[in-house]
Amino acid sequence: MAGEALAELGAVSWRRPTDERYLSRYARIWGCWTVAYTVPFLAAAIGLMLLEPLSFPVALASLAHAWIIPELYAFRGASVLRPKGPRNERSEPVAQGLLGDLLGHESRECHRRTGLAMQRSGMGVWLVGEAGALLLGPGGRRAHCFCVRTTDRALPPSDRIAHLLLALRTDEQGFATVANHAFCGARWRVRRRLPKAMRPALDAARAAARTD
């Protein structure tokens, strides 16, 4: 399927193709925005304490804001992997079997335990969920979270993952371009906000990204 392009690219023709260079620049921009959001609160907390030690409660509230804002962004990033939509208990076992045929042993076991499918690619290691995907670049330190859905939301969860996985394998750059960038930041921030059952998938993806 190499060389094919996703038809959905026509709907986002104004977007710049998402490649490794774009992701690196996006990560720097996101980091600058994070600093711009948090530093004023940190500076305010320090200034309040220097001017008036009795303002400690206000300074503490300012420090809390500096911590909470990045955590809220990380929560939004982790949310792309959370289960969404109807569960379709009757048809899900068949869908799991079809998805299993697309996965290797490692990825099949990862999906069985966590509900996420792992896919190695040119950009790094992906974790594909029902309504989004997470990309760990080489080294596994930084996570890019993408929100993307199938056109038919009534599909069983594993069918939704299979559709996204096939799109990713067909055109990785197109897949990342079509998807909406929900978060970019430290892997550990995303991990804290993931359901505990999904954290082993992120750990496995990190290990794979560090060896690639």
pLDDT digits (tens, 9 = 90+) for 38-88: 999 999 999 999 998 888 899 999 999 999 999 999 999 999 999 988 889
Question: H-helix or E-strand containing 128?
Answer: strand 125-128
Question: H-helix or E-strand containing 19?
Answer: none
Express the helix, strand and coil content of the chain in percent, nearest 5 each: 60, 10, 25
Counted domains in the chain:
1
| Percentage of residues of the chain with pLDDT beyond 90 | 84
Of 107, 119, 114, 112, give the one whose Cα is nearest residue 96: 112
Examine residue 4 and state whether it is found in any structural domain, yes or no: no
pLDDT at 52: 87
Tell me 196's DSSP state.
Answer: G
Examine residue 2 and state whether it is found in any structural domain, yes or no: no
Examine residue 85 and state whether it is found in any structural domain, yes or no: yes
Examine residue 126 and state whether it is found in any structural domain, yes or no: yes
Examine residue 3 and state whether it is found in any structural domain, yes or no: no
Examine residue 54 and state whether it is found in any structural domain, yes or no: yes
Gap between the Cα atoms of 130 and 37, Å rounded: 31
pLDDT at 1: 43
Examine residue 1 and state whether it is found in any structural domain, yes or no: no
Gap between the Cα atoms of 84 and 33, Å rounded: 29
Tell me 87's DSSP state.
Answer: -
pLDDT at 87: 87
